[in-house]
Structure 1
Amino acid sequence: MAGPWRALRRRVLTPGVSNTKLEVRGFHEKDAAARDLLETVGRSFLEGYAYAAEARTPEEPEERLEQVPRRFRGFAYEGAAMGFAVRDGLPLGRGGWTTRFLAGPAARHSYMAYVGVGWAMARVPRFRWSRLELGDPLLRWLALDGYGFHQAYFRTEKYVREQYREPAFPWPGGDHAWYADHAIDQGVGRAMWFVGGADQAVVADLVDAFAAERRPDLYSGAGLAATYAGAADEGELRAFRDRVGEHLPHVAQGSAFAATARLEAGLADEHTALATRVFCGMSPEEARELCDRTRPATAAEVPDEPGVPSYEVWRRRITAAFVTGAEVSP
């Protein structure tokens, strides 16, 4: 039983569950089944967030997180990572919660946990970002994916319908400052799967309304969400595959990332296999092998692609495997 202070902290820090309802958010509702699944994703995220908000240590929530149904467990870990990052970033935050959570309970959920830290970036003052765990040179870009998802999910009119892009995004700065917009757009594209209610035609219309140079990143994010979150059957996934045209390699890259994240966490399911078969023409295990094989040997900048973050080099290598279409079944 949580003590009074911990219970109060949970109530104060945790957003209301109504925020997960498609109707409240003004998102498209394809059908009852898709709505229920997408809303369960949101509730699972908030469940993990609440566990972190009231935890006495970063290790404490693990037992409860492991009790979340397998299909939604990764989202609970994502929410918990946000919760610990918010606690680190608050003015009276003690620091170190996120680092311990990533190294401990969330070690197998690194993809989702880094995305969760990005949600916190949208909620804590920017001058406190240095207190968040963003040290991995390769995976830290997933935090901006999380930031982009948050903005598109909660500020949909501005970031999706008005297609807003923040000028001179301040993090991480330096030689790779140019890439922040691309990483954020991957998260915006992932959120579009939710904004569009997992309706492939609505999602594609949303993405295609953006400038052509933004669509590869947006479609990559949508492919990741279609694979990891689901809420679409085989016919709908195939229709999405056929609709995206030249952007299919980017959708496949996002799908391969999603399969890798689920396999590393032990959370792959029938939908994972279906989505990678449709988008990638391979099994989840083969998609993971492709990601492992193309992953840069060093998290630092790759010598033969100066000025390009290793994370983007990785994504380009995966995408290149699908450019010829040889990896995708008819």
Structure 2
Amino acid sequence: MTPMIPMIPTSTTIPLLDAMLADPARAQAPLGDGPARARTGVAVASFIDGLRCFDAGPTAMIARVEALAPEAQLFAWEGVGLAAEARGQIDVALAAAPTFAPLLLVGAGWADALRGRKIGAPRCAHVDRWSVLDGQGFCLGLLDRRAALLEFAPEPTVALAIDQGIGRSLYFVHGGTASAIERAIMDVPASRRGALWSGVGLASVITNGLNDTARADLRERGGADLQLGEHLAALLLARISTPPHEPPTGWAATVLDGSEPPIAVLRRGLDRG
């Protein structure tokens, strides 16, 4: 029998999260204006929907997420992951919806960051800790981007994944505005910029909120690093698609297996051709 998740709809032990559940508009506050603002708003609203879906138990949880609009489901799974980790039930959520593990684990990273856990030291011991670290970075960047960009120096072993998450947050806080994102990234050491741009590229594909002109501007500024993020997004979408796509082969099959930061594997594989 599948274990049921406790019904705890009113308290997660994370004050900021409880405040967002009580007033969903509060979750929209960090979002900046720009060409992607409508889509980032949908993403955040869907994330909050996912928080609520979790309380229904594994079977009903899946049905509730699948009842959402297709463009909302990706972000809802991240919300499910946050709610699950906040209640100490991430393993139950992963067992119920293993296909969506990368998204659930991003949400688990949110829980770590909101609880003040050291960024770079996730509580969740899943093999794909890179997704958890991405979630930590995204949450840090969304809620305190000055600290994320100017005061935070990730340890080398986890920097790629955390900065990828921070890069994703930049897309949200600047509404997909390429010039503003570029200014923010240019303020950090050059060694971090590649992963930040890759995170921007990942977010731009997943949210799918830019017109052709805005997307071309972003690609021109982000260059090859942004394109890495776009490639990663395509692999992620293929993995979680219904019905599933043909699984990747060769080096591409290892991008999301948790053995290394996905961006590192992807960069090495593309360099080899």
Deviations 1:123-174 (A, max 9, x none): 23649x99953321xx2111011001001101123324xx2215xx7xxxxx
Q: Shift in Å at residue 10 of structure 1?
A: 7.3
Q: Shift in Å at residue 19 of structure 1?
A: 2.7
Which of 311, 317, 328 is the aligned partner of 2:260? 311
Q: Structure 1 159/67 Cα, relative in aligned 2: closer, same or farther at 3 Å?
A: same
| Mapping for residues 231-310 of structure 1, pairs under 5 Å | 231-245=209-223, 248=224, 250-266=225-241, 289=248, 293=252, 295=254, 310=259
Q: Shift in Å at residue 294 of structure 1?
A: 5.2
1:159 aligns with 2:148: yes
Q: Which runs of 5+ in 1 are unaligned?
A: 89-96, 170-176, 269-284, 300-309
The corresponding residue for 1:140 is 129
The corresponding residue for 1:124 is 115
Q: Shift in Å at residue 87 of structure 1?
A: 0.7
The corresponding residue for 2:69 is 69
Q: Structure 1 297/121 Cα, relative in aligned 2: closer, same or farther at 3 Å?
A: closer
1:30 aligns with 2:34: yes
Greater C-alpha Rg: 1
Q: Structure 1 98/298 Cα, relative in aligned 2: closer, same or farther at 3 Å?
A: closer
| Mapping for residues 7-156 of structure 1, pairs under 5 Å | 7-9=9-11, 14=18, 15=20, 16-21=23-28, 24-25=29-30, 27-31=31-35, 34-52=36-54, 54-55=55-56, 57-88=57-88, 97-105=89-97, 107-124=98-115, 126=117, 132-136=123-127, 139-156=128-145
| Mapping for residues 184-203 of structure 1, pairs under 5 Å | 184-203=162-181
Q: Structure 1 244/323 Cα, relative in aligned 2: closer, same or farther at 3 Å?
A: farther
For 1:60, the aligned partner's letter is A
C-alpha RMSD of the superposition: 3.1
Question: Which whole-Å CA distance do the structure 2 matches of 1:238 and 1:297 have between them?
Answer: 27
Q: Which runs of 5+ in 2 are unaligned?
A: 1-6
CA contact (8 A) 2:198 2:226 kept: yes
- SS of equivalent residue, structure 1 residue 289: coil
Question: Which whole-Å CA distance do the structure 1 matches of 2:250 and 2:96 have between them?
Answer: 23
For 1:108, the aligned partner's letter is T
CA contact (8 A) 2:114 2:139 kept: no
CA contact (8 A) 1:47 1:79 kept: yes
For 2:10, the aligned partner's letter is L
Question: Which whole-Å CA distance do the structure 2 matches of 1:118 and 1:291 have between them?
Answer: 29
Question: Which whole-Å CA distance do the structure 2 matches of 1:17 and 1:182 have between them?
Answer: 31
Q: Structure 1 131/241 Cα, relative in aligned 2: closer, same or farther at 3 Å?
A: closer
Q: Shift in Å at residue 229 of structure 1?
A: 1.1
For 1:111, the aligned partner's letter is P
Q: TM-score, normalised by structure 2?
A: 0.82
Q: Structure 1 124/80 Cα, relative in aligned 2: closer, same or farther at 3 Å?
A: same
Q: Aligned pairs, how many?
A: 260
- SS of equivalent residue, structure 2 residue 10: helix
Q: Shift in Å at residue 221 of structure 1?
A: 0.6
For 1:28, the aligned partner's letter is G
| Mapping for residues 182-221 of structure 1, pairs under 5 Å | 182-221=160-199
